[in-house]
Amino acid sequence: MKRYLILTTVLFIAGSLSAQKFPKPGCSTVLAEAMFAEVDTTKPRGVSDNYHTWENGAVLLVKFMPGGSKMLRDKVILSAKEWEKYANIKFQFVADTARNTNIRVKLGKGSGHNSAVGTEANFRSQSEQTMNFDTLFFADIDYYLAKLQRKGIKPPYNLNQLAAEMKEEPNRWNEKELRRVVTHEFGHAIGLLHEQSFPGAVNWKRTDSVYNYYLQTQGWDRAKVDFNVFEVADQFYTNGTTYDPKSIMHYSIEPWQTTDGYSLKDNYELSQGDKTLIAALYPKNQKVSSLVVPKVDITNFAKLNVVSNTTRNGLVIEPSFDLKTNPKLGEVYFVARLATEDGYYLKTSSLYYNWGGTVAAYKKMNLLPNSKVSYNKTKKNFELFLPFDYVPETYGKKVIVVFAVYLDDVANKQMDKLMYFSTTTPLSLPR
């Protein structure tokens, strides 16, 4: 059982080095925040992450973070809504001032294109975006380059010059590219993963040249390339589909990147496979998808209350949130681990208070299907307790408490699904 690492996922859209002018930013959707140093290479990837799809028929509230012209926002909305034609899901775009939303879109520069995967958006605070678009790469680059030329400025041009031109004359957009990236990222937002992780689909060359390519075009280190590019999904996540090279969720591939010369250009439209899969995950003609797996949805996470109780000689940890189960039952664990301020879990070899070799208090929860429970909302009804005797010496260093909810789907042999994740700010432990 791998229970060491936390990795939330943001998936990035990869673009090929668009040979012409500027390298497109890759889709930098990481499947969870990589707040701890290592990357969990066991995390399954694939066609869809069934554990993080929204409820069938959900109306998702979407807002824009400050920024982005009305014209640009309207184009984003139009492309996002493409999915509504096939999926029983609605994106309801609400005012920027809305306090509680499911998806928050940031239109800006420098953060790449990326999105939280499905309900992993719930891990983010309401003040934080769940989706980023780098608007520089939505520009009608040919138009702006022609302007620079007309001004007598000689190539090579850089992104700062492009940004300056966009400021001077805004709203010249590359509709085709914008549509491709927006549909791809909204695909992540409703639970789809990268199609190139379909088992056996792509025989990547795992050579320095490929790692260097992604370092130079995307700024990704080796771990990120392993995760975003090379990782292969468990067969389970293909949902019985066949590999779909036309999927909007597929990266483009250069022939030199594969052992057999396989290559692929960017796809600009939803494929038949995309439409079929999303309709199966969110069917319009039935209440619950036949692809449904056990899930717990955690919302309204208010705070993670941690109290040093000197009488009981330990830490009392009280997370506060609402939980909802779906029609299927899994085994659910609430886990509170200790980590150093810089993001490493404290290790233990003790028989007790040990979660995969790390110091933790945890409980297996007994939950019913289709139920709702509130923890520590109106009354105190849940705590995790970690005795100081089981906490290793931290030599005066502060620690953070990491609360996570895991689900084991024993029937499908899919274990350790991260359903929620939250941390405290650094705190000192009394000794």
Instruction: Provide the binding-site residues for Zn ion, judged by CB under 5 A.
Output: 11, 13, 27, 29
Helix, coil or strand: residue 192: strand
- Which residue, 11 or 405, has its beta carbon nearer to Zn ion? 11
Whether residue 384 contacts residue 362, with contact meaning beta carbons closer than 8 Å, is answered with yes
- Which residue, 113 or 337, has its beta carbon nearer to Zn ion? 113
**Minimum distance between the CB of residue 340 and Zn ion, rounded to whole angstroms?**
31
- State the virtual CA torsion across 265, 267, 272, 278 in degrees, nearest 10: 130
**Minimum distance between the CB of residue 194 and Zn ion, rounded to whole angstroms?**
6
Helix, coil or strand: residue 104: strand
- Which residue, 87 or 193, has its beta carbon nearer to Zn ion? 193
What is d(CA 209, CA 219) in angstroms, rounded to the nearest whole number? 14
**Minimum distance between the CB of residue 248 and Zn ion, rounded to whole angstroms?**
9
Residues 6+ apart with CB under 8 A from 412: 236, 293
User: DSSP per residue over 316-374, as a string?
Assistant: EEEE-EEEEE-SS--EEEEEEEEEETTS-BPB---SSSEETTEEEEEEEE---TT-EEE
CB burial of 27-54 (b: ≥16 within 10 Å; e: otherwise) equals bbbbbbbbebeebbeebbbbbbbbbbbb
Going by C-alpha positions, the residue among 157, 207, 174, 218 that lies closest to residue 17 is 218
Whether residue 281 contacts residue 87, with contact meaning beta carbons closer than 8 Å, is answered with yes
**Minimum distance between the CB of residue 408 and Zn ion, rounded to whole angstroms?**
27
- Which residue, 11 or 402, has its beta carbon nearer to Zn ion? 11
- Which residue, 27 or 329, has its beta carbon nearer to Zn ion? 27
- Which residue, 27 or 62, has its beta carbon nearer to Zn ion? 27
**Minimum distance between the CB of residue 283 and Zn ion, rounded to whole angstroms?**
24
**Minimum distance between the CB of residue 181 and Zn ion, rounded to whole angstroms?**
9
**Minimum distance between the CB of residue 134 and Zn ion, rounded to whole angstroms?**
13
Going by C-alpha positions, the residue among 12, 415, 1, 407 that lies closest to residue 231 is 12
- Which residue, 27 or 264, has its beta carbon nearer to Zn ion? 27
Going by C-alpha positions, the residue among 110, 153, 103 that lies closest to residue 135 is 110
- Which residue, 185 or 416, has its beta carbon nearer to Zn ion? 185
Which H/E stretch holds residue 19?
A: none
- Which residue, 11 or 201, has its beta carbon nearer to Zn ion? 11
What is d(CA 398, CA 73) in angstroms, rounded to the nearest whole number? 43
**Minimum distance between the CB of residue 415 and Zn ion, rounded to whole angstroms?**
25
**Minimum distance between the CB of residue 176 and Zn ion, rounded to whole angstroms?**
17
Which H/E stretch holds residue 224?
A: helix 222-225
Residues 6+ apart with CB under 8 A from 160: none
Which residue's C-beta sits nearest to Zn ion? Answer: 27
Look up residue 94 and give its two tokens: 């609400």
